[in-house]
Amino acid sequence: MDFSQSEEHTSIRDAVGKICAQFDDHYWLEKDRAGGFPHELHRAFADGGWLGICLPVAYGGSGMGITEAAVMMQTITASGAGLSGASAVHMNIFGLQPVAVFGTEEQKQRMLPPLIAGREKACFAVTEPNTGLNTTQLQTRAERVGDHYVLSGEKVWISTAQVAEKMLILARTTPQDQCSKPSLGLSLFYTSLDRKYVELCEIDKMGRKAVDSNQLFIDGLPVPVADRIGEEGRGFEYILHGMNPERILIAAEATGLGRAALNRATRYANERIVFNRPIGKNQAIQHPLAESWMELEAADLMTMRAAWKYDHGEPCGADANAAKYLAAEAGFEACQRAVMTHGGYGYAKEYHVERYLREIMIPRIAPISPQLILCYIAEKVLGLPKSY
């Protein structure tokens, strides 16, 4: 093992940090109040060439790893942009990996450059209202008609659909009863989100108002066969491929936001004087913050190990899941402690930490619940029997 800090990571942190510094706390406070996609941030990242950080150089990307992407995403949330900032670019970073890995040369040429340049935004349309986490039970159908598929069904919790031109969508091409396994018969498409056939309903949320979440009603959307990624019927497998990177990035975002909260809390504890002493002199204030620092560091190490394994082609499922679990819990604790540290001001909007607390709930809930992670570790690592 070698724990030296890579210079590349330091320079990513510096460069990304500089972009984020253009979007201050007031920007995000206002976005949280009024909503509206942070186009300016997305544009700045596109212009800096960051959206293709882990896509191949041949198509305009930087060809770096998930490790570097994790460093970037962590830097965004840690800047105070939080999940509002991270989610605005999140999908662009890892979402098109299936295209990069399983797409044809023609598809890569056609699909990746506009995304990397920020000319197109994409959303990730997998989850459905009635299937929850059980992806193989998806109801959206894609029927082949000549050189097209026709897609119909509902999707829910689709982020950035309001502003996206494209979507990566999973749909069933062969009925489940005609497949040898429930995970077969699903196909993956990267295609235009044509609003003539897709109705979008935005879901108001408790936090991260800036980045829309939506329910999609798809009715007869024609999708050219040329937009199908990889073989018909193997879409689930392609999506699985992106599952670990997504968990790693979410973990990095959670520790980043936790650090933002911890910084605010530490600053406040040092500056806030009650009767001639900073409140940070109280062990009741300082010890929980110290504990959060340790928890965030440990979760970050786990995240980095998971990313390193992914980038080196080693199995990383256990580490990616553990990283997401530990990071979300540590991030949540840090945000909650930051609110507590602020006392009466903790829930006043202008102190920002209550916004962090609302946003940090996302990495705890998505893309997989902590309970299912515990099941995964129990089964795959400890060798205990399946419990459900």
Interface with a second copy (CB under 8 A): 1-6, 67, 262, 266, 269-270, 277-278, 280-283, 286-287, 289-291, 293-295, 297-299, 301-302, 304-305, 308-309, 312, 319, 322, 325-326, 371, 373-378, 381-388
Residue 291 Cβ, how far from other proteins at the closest point, in Å?
11
- Write out the DSSP string of 58-90: GGT-----HHHHHHHHHHHIIIIIHHHHHHHHH
Residue 207, token pair as written in the block: 């936090």
> Please, which residue, 8 or 202, has the CB nearer to a second copy?
8
Beta carbons within 10 angstroms of residue 371's beta carbon: 12
Name the nearest CA neighbour of 332 among 300, 354, 364.
364
**Could you tell me which residues come within 8 angstroms of residue 243 by beta carbon, excluding any fewer than 6 positions away?**
320, 367
How far is it between the farthest Cα atoms of the chain? 79
For tokens 């295609």, what's the residue? 191
Beta carbons within 10 angstroms of residue 107's beta carbon: 18
Q: Which does 58 bind (CB under 5 to 8 A by kind): a second copy, other proteins, none?
A: none
Binding mask 334-353 for other proteins (x = CB under 8 A): --x--xx--xx-xxxxx---
> Please, which residue, 163 or 378, has the CB nearer to other proteins?
378
Number of residues that bind other proteins (CB under 8 A): 43
Contact range with other proteins by CB under 8 A, out of 11-19, 91-99, 141-149, 364-372: 364-372
Q: Is 215 exposed, middle or buried (0-12, 13-18, 19+ CB in 10 A)?
A: middle
> Please, which residue, 223 or 357, has the CB nearer to other proteins?
357
Run of H or E including 340 = helix 317-341
Task: Please answer whether residues 127 and 97 qualify as being in contact, where contact means their C-beta atoms are separated by less than 8 angstroms.
Answer: no
Q: Which does 354 bind (CB under 5 to 8 A by kind): other proteins, a second copy, none?
A: other proteins
Task: Select the residue interacting with other proteins from 257, 262, 279, 306 (CB under 8 A).
Answer: 279
Residue 51 Cβ, how far from a second copy at the closest point, in Å?
24
In our burial notation (b when 16+ CB lie closer than 10 A, e otherwise), range 294-309 reads ebbeebbebbbbbbbb
Q: Which does 107 bind (CB under 5 to 8 A by kind): a second copy, other proteins, none?
A: none
Q: Which does 381 bind (CB under 5 to 8 A by kind): other proteins, a second copy, none?
A: a second copy
Q: Which residues are 199's β-sheet partners?
A: 217
> Please, which residue, 43 or 277, has the CB nearer to a second copy?
277
Q: Which does 274 bind (CB under 5 to 8 A by kind): other proteins, a second copy, none?
A: other proteins
User: Is residue 134 a contact point for other proteins (CB under 8 A)?
Assistant: yes
Whether omega before 367 lies within 30 degrees of 0, making that bond cis, reads yes
Residues that bind other proteins (CB under 8 A): 132-134, 157, 203-207, 273-275, 279, 282-285, 287, 332, 336, 339-340, 343-344, 346-350, 354, 357-358, 361-362, 364-366, 369-371, 374, 387-388
